[in-house]
Amino acid sequence: MSILWLITSLLLLLSCVPGFSMRDGIVHGKVSIPHSRPYMVYIRDTISEEVCDGFLIREDFVMTAAHCGRNPVVYLGVNDTNLLPESVAVHPIPHPKFIMRPGYDIMLLKLKTPATLNKTVNTITLPKTGDGEISKNCMVMGWGSQDYQYDSPSRVLKEANVTLLDSKNCGTTDTLCSEGKIGPAKGDSGGPIVCGDVAQGIVSFYTQESNGEYCTRYTHILKYLPWIHNMMNSSLLQQHETWKGKLDKLI
């Protein structure tokens, strides 16, 4: 299910503060300068063919949402989705507590061949504990839908400025949120919300408010740092152990 979740039943539980309005968005957003966001990764599920976004956080790791498909391949350094480069095979590592409901909507994709970093393929920084207050002026981006009602993906990357709401108004402890008539939509799932050059969140789902505004929830990356570090370190370990196992057998 590589789409933004439209969970209207949650409206009453998780309500954004009304009164904001935004001029820009990925819905009606601005086209990004080609290759100006070199960490952006286009993701396609090889079985369902559904698409998601993700972002490169190390030569060998992409971060995305756990509700994206379990058979993904990734494309690095994309400008036009009609002219994709060769896909890169990955090993998906969804958060073990994710159960197709809001919460724990985070997945790491371990690249089977690490990326060669260059001008069009590069990493983005993750937050660190002790970073202090997150800047509220953020940016979202993706190749997703340009309309909330109709499936209308963009061939080229689009971006928009969004303002973070106070996290206490988000309703859950592991999300950040923004609100407006425009923002991420279907196909933008898994993309980053970037605040001051740091990827602070992962596009997870949106709800439509009674006032017609859309409230977007982002998985709060900071809350998952221990798991992220554990996975990124341990997959190195696993690799090492696999090697060791093979060598043992050889000898």
Ligand X SMILES: *[C@@H]1O[C@H](CO)[C@@H](O)[C@H](O)[C@H]1NC(C)=O
Q: Which residues bind ligand X (CB under 6 A)?
A: 24, 30, 34, 76-77, 79-80, 85, 115-116, 118-121, 155-156, 159-161, 229, 232-233
Q: For ligand X, which residue has the nearest CB? A: 229
The identity of residue 189, as a single letter, is S
Q: Shortest distance, CB of residue 171 to ligand X, whole angstroms?
A: 27
Residues 6+ apart with CB under 8 A from 241: none
Do strands 5-6 and 198-208 pair parallel, antiparallel, or not at all (unpaired)? Answer: parallel
Residues 6+ apart with CB under 8 A from 234: none
Residue whose CB is less far from ligand X, 76 or 165: 76
Q: Shortest distance, CB of residue 217 to ligand X, whole angstroms?
A: 21
Q: Shortest distance, CB of residue 223 to ligand X, whole angstroms?
A: 15
Residue whose CB is less far from ligand X, 30 or 136: 30
Q: What is the CA radius of gyration of the chain?
A: 18
Residue whose CB is less far from ligand X, 85 or 246: 85
Token duo for residue 213? 């505004």
**Active site amino acids:** 67, 105, 189
Q: Shortest distance, CB of residue 133 to ligand X, whole angstroms?
A: 19
CA 97/CA 179 separation, integer angstroms: 27
Token duo for residue 85? 């480069």
Dihedral sign, Cα of residue 188, residue 121, residue 49, residue 238? negative
Q: Shortest distance, CB of residue 77 to ligand X, whole angstroms?
A: 5
Residue whose CB is less far from ligand X, 85 or 245: 85
Name the residue among 217, 218, 219, 220 with its Cα closest to residue 209: 217
Name the residue among 244, 29, 205 with its Cα closest to residue 103: 205
Residue whose CB is less far from ligand X, 86 or 133: 86
